[in-house]
Structure 1
């Protein structure tokens, strides 16, 4: 929903659930919410009130540590594959602490921030992150730090990134794949543009399960693109995803490829499929060939 029109304003208080929605709301939109569980969020909706604590308070939103990615290559930071990997590493390193990412030269795009936050909230308990010069509450490092100096500085190295990336795969030696799953968080309209461009009308050897929301799906149906994608072998999943709903066949020892850090984290336990993590481009090429293809940019 946060990419379909319901976007609370900077500084507004809301009560949201779902880890990737909470971290997007706090970090990318700059609205304020805690990680509300089921029924507590409903109680907030009924009463129009939320507890005055945690990330609703401005002083609790200040960063206490720095996550420095300036040691990584510009080509890697500009790639789609970087952000789920960095999010997974960030979550494991910071836990539930508030940090600010430094060393990012330009805005990576909303979908990249969405992927970073979802992975960070899966591997850690991240409810809020800042990126200096990118996210709305962090025009620079000094503006968002809780004190004159950070309590800790995590200097990210290419070796740390390589280890984090390897940790997203549980089937590194696989010679074939059985499916590709993308869209956790749900695919945006722009991400469907990328998917269609990469498929380029080719027939897929294994299905690509593309999870999205009804709003993005309505746009696909309006311009006829849903039929084209499905004709190539894309299975569009609306308003849910393959790790919470039994959509993929139970084949035993299956191998799933994904570009989602969140899928990579949850799929082995929730679906029974081993996972290979790759970029969207490599996911599509692998789906066309039925075997893993890796051409990604190194950190």
Structure 2
């Protein structure tokens, strides 16, 4: 299949915009041919997932672009790194790792990227609009952009997302194209469900495991309290599977009706989800029973929104000042700045609440004690943390997490 390149693409490829852009375009062309794209399309923005230090290869790639005088051509946000640049004392990292981890984050800024360092760029001023073509990395951000906003991106991984940002172009394939956004597999919720946070996590876990490479459509989902519940659903679905787009009938913008979600075609398969299925999926996130002693609570994976903070802060009344186990809240620096400007964080230290920015507690060593149980309200955190940092996990609603922090052991259910 032939890839059609415009004059501007050829100009970049031939080095007329410098060696860094030429290298990025060369990689983008090879990638586009590999996925069978017929042409490239303009993008309105990008989100880069390469700030997390994994070793020399990623470091060298970005440094080469910097040395070549590279600069991104579209507004480009950055995902989390390995270091909290605002609270550097939080991260416990050997100097041999800290130096390149910091440098990798700084090198992206030298390419003209925005210092967002958040896995939730949709919470920033760079949030895309419905129908906009973008090139995003980070699984939860991708599924949120496609599903909740209705912007258009494929699942772009390290390096290729930055190549799109450097050229302002992306291959016209996959979810960039309308014909590929049709639902394929139907999930029907059977019975009556309250719109709890845990419900949305549970549904996400189930559709992620069962969808494989198909686009899921969910019917019977209660109207969410806010988009944070859809954020949690998408993050769980992208964690247990490869979901980059879901349609929730009557909720998400491309699924006003079941017929619209499937574009008039019949689903390839229908799977019914019962209360028992939800309970089973959620139970698998916890490795300890109620009553197990805790060493910490971790919230905000994906990053806590301003709305979630406004739900959390009143709950701290359950904790006596100066008591309670540490509560780590992962959040974007823009959200944290807004909270500080509003004076909302002046008293949180008394409740042992620790804001974390620029990174996340499951990807780097921040939590003081890793020899016990950490409680979380995040399906994504619960899924990854045992393998990443070696802790045991208890999953619960946000209210359960705070009540548990107050008493020092796992408490779930109505008080």
How high is the TM-score relative to the length of structure 1? 0.94
Pick from 277, 283, 290: which aligns with 2:395? Answer: 277
CA contact (8 A) 1:278 1:296 kept: no
- Answering whether residue 239 of structure 2 is matched by residue 119 of structure 1, we say no
Partner of 2:185: 65
- Answering whether residue 23 of structure 2 is matched by residue 23 of structure 1, we say no
Q: CA deviation at 1:91?
A: 0.6
Q: CA 1:278 to 1:105, structure 2 compared with 1: closer, same or farther past 3 Å?
A: closer
Q: CA 1:107 to 1:259, structure 2 compared with 1: closer, same or farther past 3 Å?
A: closer
Structure 2, unaligned stretches of length 5 or more? 1-120
- Answering whether residue 290 of structure 2 is matched by residue 290 of structure 1, we say no
Partner of 1:212: 331
Q: Which has the higher contact order (CA 8 A, sep 6+)?
A: 1
Q: CA deviation at 1:173?
A: 6.0
Q: What secondary structure, in the 3-state scheme, does the structure 2 residue paired with 1:50 have?
A: strand
CA contact (8 A) 1:67 1:101 kept: yes
CA contact (8 A) 2:154 2:176 kept: yes
Q: How many residues align?
A: 293
Which digits, 9 at most, give the CA deviation of each residue in 1:87-139, with x for residues without a partner?
A: 11111111231011101242442000001001110011110001011111111
1-structure distance, mates of 2:397, 2:413: 9
CA contact (8 A) 1:72 1:157 kept: yes
Flag the structure with larger Rg: 2
Q: CA deviation at 1:86?
A: 1.4
2-structure distance, mates of 1:74, 1:266: 27
How high is the TM-score relative to the length of structure 2? 0.68
Q: What secondary structure, in the 3-state scheme, does the structure 2 residue paired with 1:225 have?
A: coil
CA contact (8 A) 2:208 2:240 kept: yes
Q: CA 1:23 to 1:296, structure 2 compared with 1: closer, same or farther past 3 Å?
A: farther
Structure 1, unaligned stretches of length 5 or more? none
Which digits, 9 at most, give the CA deviation of each residue in 1:162-193, with x for residues without a partner?
A: 11011111223662111000000000111111
Kindly report the root-mean-square deviation, in angstroms, between the aligned alpha carbons of the 2 structures.
1.6
CA contact (8 A) 2:370 2:389 kept: no
Q: CA 1:282 to 1:173, structure 2 compared with 1: closer, same or farther past 3 Å?
A: closer
Pick from 249, 255, 268: which aligns with 2:368? Answer: 249
Partner of 2:354: 235
